[in-house]
Amino acid sequence: MTTPDLRVSIGSLFLKNPVLTASGTFGYGKEFAPYVNLHYLGGVVVKGISLAPRRGNPPPRIVETASGMLNAIGLENVGLDRFISEKMPYLREIGTRVIVNILGDSLEEYQTLGRRLSEVEGISALEVNISCPNVKKGGVAFGTDPAMAEAVTRAVCAHSTLPVIVKLSPNVSDIAQIARGAEAGGAQAVSLINTLLGMAIDVRSRRPRLANIVGGLSGPAIKPIALRMVWQVAQAVKIPVIGIGGITTTEDALEFLLAGATAIEVGTANFVNPRASQEIVEGLGRYLTDNRLSGISEVIGGLILP
């Protein structure tokens, strides 16, 4: 019997399998080395990087909700320079794709990040987080307007030689429209969803449970919404779609692939089961074998409609 073929390509980016880890949930890879053989993964998406280091929000930053969690980390990160000098040496050696998630508060910042990271060895692609507020446009998030999504995509693509994945925010009326904006701007792929804006209150103290008041909802709770959006976007754009949102098991991953995702990212599940990402790679292989399928491409977009 031949080993199942899990390879996929996201534009010009080839992955040995469609399982990535979601930004902000897998640190810089190293944190999970005790639990996961990193080179088994399709790739690692690192915590979002900005030009300058960011302190993030004051604590408490995390609260659990029904089958999910809210986070208000506030995009804490070590900044571009320390990322390159401190984190990249390790990441270059992990034996799989390294995708760098970037964030900024202006087009210029995104441009600079794209340009600078293109010069760094060992990076396979950029994932552009457009859920951030555009400071120059009164703080409206780039990701809530198709034109702004297109502009930020174009800015990164023009200044970078790396494949660009645009990561979409779900807090919109019509995510397919935003995806088309990213496609028009030159994205090689879109990934979705980022977290849904949520809130929790401690009724004893009468205070928000997060110092930031609101935070991003993730985990199994949001999977149905994420899956619906991935399905809608996969129909709306020609570029590959990467599915994210509550993926915890092989079955979850298969749902997203069937809905049209070419790859998936495992997020919050890494906290619950640190071996989740590797187990999903193994599970997908077993699924192909059990169903006598020659490759994962026979699954992608394979949803049968009534």
Would residue 286 be called left, alpha or beta, if left means φ above 0 and alpha means ψ between -120 and 50 degrees? Answer: alpha
Both tokens assigned to 117: 């990271």
Would strands 196-199 and 189-192 be described as parallel, antiparallel, or unpaired? unpaired
Closest CA to 109 of 57, 159, 164, 182: 159
Residues 175 and 229 sit within 8 Å (Cβ to Cβ): yes
Q: Point out the catalytic residue in the list 36, 69, 99, 132.
A: 132
The binder of 255, among ligand FMN, a second copy, other proteins, none, by C-beta within 5 to 8 A per type, is: a second copy
β partners of residue 62: 71
Q: Which lies closer to ligand FMN via its Cβ, residue 103 or residue 157?
A: 103
Q: Does 75 help bind ligand FMN (rule: CB under 6 A)?
A: yes
Contact track, ligand FMN, 200-239, x by CB under 6 A: ------------------xx--x-----------------
The binder of 244, among other proteins, ligand FMN, a second copy, none, by C-beta within 5 to 8 A per type, is: ligand FMN
Closest distance between ligand FMN and the C-beta of residue 98, in Å?
Answer: 15
Pairwise CA distance, residues 233 & 149, whole Å:
15
Pairwise CA distance, residues 289 & 278, whole Å:
17
Query: Residues with Cβ < 8 Å from 304, sequence gap 6 or more?
Result: none
Closest distance between a second copy and the C-beta of residue 223, in Å?
Answer: 6
Number of residues lying near ligand FMN (CB under 6 A): 24
Would strands 189-192 and 164-167 be described as parallel, antiparallel, or unpaired? parallel
Closest CA to 263 of 83, 127, 94, 76: 127
Pairwise CA distance, residues 286 & 270, whole Å:
21
Q: Is 132 labeled as catalytic in the residue annotation?
A: yes
Closest distance between other proteins and the C-beta of residue 154, in Å?
Answer: 30
Pairwise CA distance, residues 36 & 23, whole Å:
16
Backbone torsions φ then ψ of 258, nearest 5 degrees: -60, -35
Binding residue (CB under 8 A) for a second copy from 7, 35, 54, 65: 65
Contact track, a second copy, 88-127, x by CB under 8 A: ----------------------------------------
Residues 27 and 267 sit within 8 Å (Cβ to Cβ): no
Q: Does 80 help bind a second copy (rule: CB under 8 A)?
A: no
Closest distance between other proteins and the C-beta of residue 39, in Å?
Answer: 18
Among the listed ranges 26-34, 86-94, 155-163, 191-199, the one in contact with a second copy (CB under 8 A) is 191-199
Among the listed ranges 67-75, 85-93, 144-152, 156-164, the one in contact with ligand FMN (CB under 6 A) is 67-75
Q: Which residues bind ligand FMN (CB under 6 A)?
A: 22-25, 47-48, 71, 73, 75, 101, 129, 167, 194-195, 218-219, 222, 244-247, 267-269
Catalytic residues, which ones?
132
